[in-house]
């Protein structure tokens, strides 16, 4: 009797089935919930995408990195620059499509990851953490040095390539959330008029489409032609009279060194304030983020459960023994770095589309720290931990704000409460359950079934 599970490709198909089911279920949920929940879903999926890379880098390869927020910035900026400046694919001359921007963002991440990985992979723990900390602080600062190309402190505005209707955040009608700082909300609204690409090519059907159910969101009816999408957006952007002047704002935007975790990172709050005005946008963003997370998750699943995953674990646990077994420790660490950079860059490109904006404030040290927090709390040694981490990063601040609202805490307590909880939880997890929430659940399950134990 042939064991079907041992046939070549069986595992691949199994992983594909898992991912497609999760993808279909998430898109169903996205269809059923209100736009705010869709927005949260998009954020959680985006965080999970980046943290799949953190699991490989921190959990499997044992390299503590704080640079992944900066690598997300690479992805975000490449996405923004290519989609703002290119009408066709260079050399090939194909018409532009946001998917190409995503691909180039991924390439950008791979390139930068190679450089940092080459410097960092030969270094022991604290050295690498410090180097990547410097990158997390320094790289967003580079954006401020090139104001013409990269938009400086203000960043670059994006018109989200968006398949239905016009993305028209009728500015005057937007009820600004009181908790959202108005100064930071401004840059989202004042798109540089000359930089808005009038061609808003809709994304083609998502790559995984056809393999799964629940894709009615992506049917052709929901995809109007590029022309009809372009005109209302352009008109609305031109009613710029009630926009605050561009000159007044740049200094007020969060400085890269002053941003804390994304709960404070104002672009998110500001984007959240725009929710009511653009009902379907959030669904599209969530569809995009979930699809990207599923594709990246599928890649990660195959890597982690395959030979490469064993190589990473071997080098992490004993690099000398791994070298004796014919593995190049440096090569393995660099490969972990490059792959996590690729994942981070894709997540950055998605983040740019969720925020409709890229800027140093959104990709600062706080973002890098929150990726670390998420992956440590969720469980740094398995991909499920990244998913739990993504949900935590979105849900925990909301939970804290809800409690704070009910108890009537003052603003200074409320605003800082999520970070205090994060910090204390991180310390607690490291001391009590190094495997994170997922590791803790697994340990609990093991104690019940008394199976052989594996290290977290």
Partner 1 sequence: MTTFLDYLLGGLGSGAIIALMALSLVLIWRSTRVVNFAQVGQAMFTTFIALSIQTWTGSWFIALVGALAAGALLGVIIQYLVLRPVKRNDTSGAIIATFGVLIALQAAAGMIWPGGSQAFPQPFNNAGIEFAGRVWPISVYDFVVIGITALLVLGLTLLFTKTSLGLSMRAAAFNPEVAKLSGVRVSRVLTFGWALAGSVGAVAGVLVAPVSTISPNSFDILLVYAFTVAVIGGLDSLIGAISIGVFTGLVISLVSGYSDSGNAPIVALLLLALNLILKPEGVFSHHKARSV
Residue from 181, 272, 309, 434 touching partner 1 (CB under 8 A): that is: 434
Binding status of residue 99 toward partner 1 by CB under 8 A? no
- Interface segment toward partner 1; rule CB under 8 A; list 22-30, 35-43, 183-191, 251-259: 251-259
The CA angle 304-307-308, to the nearest 5 degrees, is 60
Contact 59, 309 (CB under 8 A): no
Residue from 129, 269, 270, 387 touching partner 1 (CB under 8 A): that is: 129
Residue from 138, 232, 306, 444 touching partner 1 (CB under 8 A): that is: 138
Binding status of residue 55 toward partner 1 by CB under 8 A? no
Per-residue x/- marks for partner 1, 342-381, CB under 8 A? -----------------------x---x--xx--x---x-
Residue from 16, 114, 141, 183 touching partner 1 (CB under 8 A): that is: 141
**3-state DSSP assignment of residue 357:** strand
Residue from 5, 91, 92, 431 touching partner 1 (CB under 8 A): that is: 431
Alpha carbon distance 72, 28 (integer Å): 28
322-357 as b/e, with b when 16 or more CB fall inside 10 Å?
Answer: beeeebebeebbbbbbbbbbbbbbbbbbbbbbbbbb
- Interface segment toward partner 1; rule CB under 8 A; list 78-86, 288-296, 341-349, 415-423: 415-423
Alpha carbon distance 346, 103 (integer Å): 8
Residue from 102, 417, 437, 438 touching partner 1 (CB under 8 A): that is: 417
Instruction: Match 């900026």 to its residue by tokens.
Output: 77
> 127 or 279, CB closer to partner 1?
127
Binding status of residue 419 toward partner 1 by CB under 8 A? yes
Q: Is 428 exposed, middle or buried (0-12, 13-18, 19+ CB in 10 A)?
A: exposed
The 10 Å Cβ neighbour count of residue 111 is 15
Contact 76, 358 (CB under 8 A): yes
Per-residue x/- marks for partner 1, 321-340, CB under 8 A? --x-----xx--x-------
- Kindly state the tokens that stand for 216: 């009615």
* Min separation Cβ 271 and partner 1, Å: 22
* Min separation Cβ 407 and partner 1, Å: 14
Residue from 20, 29, 180, 425 touching partner 1 (CB under 8 A): that is: 425
Binding status of residue 58 toward partner 1 by CB under 8 A? yes
Element (H, E) at 156: strand 156-157
* Min separation Cβ 404 and partner 1, Å: 11
* Min separation Cβ 116 and partner 1, Å: 9
φ and ψ of 32, to 5 deg? -85, -25
């Amino acid at each position: 009797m042939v064991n079907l599970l041992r046939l070549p490709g069986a595992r691949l198909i199994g992983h594909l089935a898992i991912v497609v089911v999760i993808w279909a279920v998430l898109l169903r949920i996205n269809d059923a919930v209100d736009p705010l929940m869709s927005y949260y879903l998009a954020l959680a999926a985006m965080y999970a995408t980046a943290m799949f890379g953190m699991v490989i880098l921190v959990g499997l390869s044992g390299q503590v990195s704080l640079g992944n927020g900066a690598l997300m910035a690479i992805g975000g900026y490449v996405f923004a620059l290519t989609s703002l400046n290119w009408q066709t694919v260079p050399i090939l001359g194909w018409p532009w499509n946001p998917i190409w921007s995503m691909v180039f963002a991924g390439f950008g991440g791979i390139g930068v990851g190679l450089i940092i990985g080459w410097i960092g992979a030969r270094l022991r723990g604290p050295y690498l953490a410090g180097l990547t900390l410097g990158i997390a602080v320094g790289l967003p600062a580079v954006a401020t040095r090139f104001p013409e190309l990269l938009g400086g402190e203000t960043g670059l505005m994006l018109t989200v390539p968006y398949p239905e209707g016009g993305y028209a955040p009728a500015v005057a009608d937007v009820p600004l959330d009181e908790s959202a700082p108005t100064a930071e909300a401004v840059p989202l609204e004042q798109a540089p008029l000359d930089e808005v690409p009038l061609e808003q090519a809709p994304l083609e059907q998502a790559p995984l489409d056809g393999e799964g159910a629940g894709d009615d969101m992506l049917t052709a009816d929901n995809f109007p032609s590029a022309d009809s999408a372009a005109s209302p957006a352009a008109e609305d952007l031109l009613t710029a009279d009630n926009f605050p002047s561009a000159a007044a704002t740049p200094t007020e935007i969060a400085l890269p060194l002053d941003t804390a975790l994304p709960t404070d990172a104002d672009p998110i709050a500001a984007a959240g304030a725009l929710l009511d005005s653009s009902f379907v946008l959030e669904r599209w963003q969530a569809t995009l983020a979930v699809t990207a997370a599923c594709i990246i998750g599928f890649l990660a699943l195959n890597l982690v459960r395959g030979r490469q995953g064993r190589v990473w674990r071997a080098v992490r646990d004993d690099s000398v023994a791994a070298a004796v077994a014919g593995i190049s420790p440096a090569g393995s660490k660099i490969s972990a770095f490059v792959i996590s950079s690729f994942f981070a860059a894709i997540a950055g490109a998605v983040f740019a589309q969720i925020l409709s904006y890229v800027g140093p404030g959104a990709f600062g040290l706080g973002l890098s720290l929150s990726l670390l927090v998420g992956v440590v709390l969720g469980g740094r040694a398995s991909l499920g931990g990244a998913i739990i981490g993504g949900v935590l990063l979105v849900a925990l601040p909301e939970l804290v704000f809800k409690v704070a609202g009910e108890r009537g805490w003052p603003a200074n307590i409320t605003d800082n409460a999520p970070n205090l909880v994060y910090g204390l939880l991180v310390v607690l997890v490291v001391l009590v359950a190094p495997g994170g929430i997922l590791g803790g659940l697994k340990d609990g399950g093991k104690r019940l079934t008394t199976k052989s134990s594996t290290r977290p």
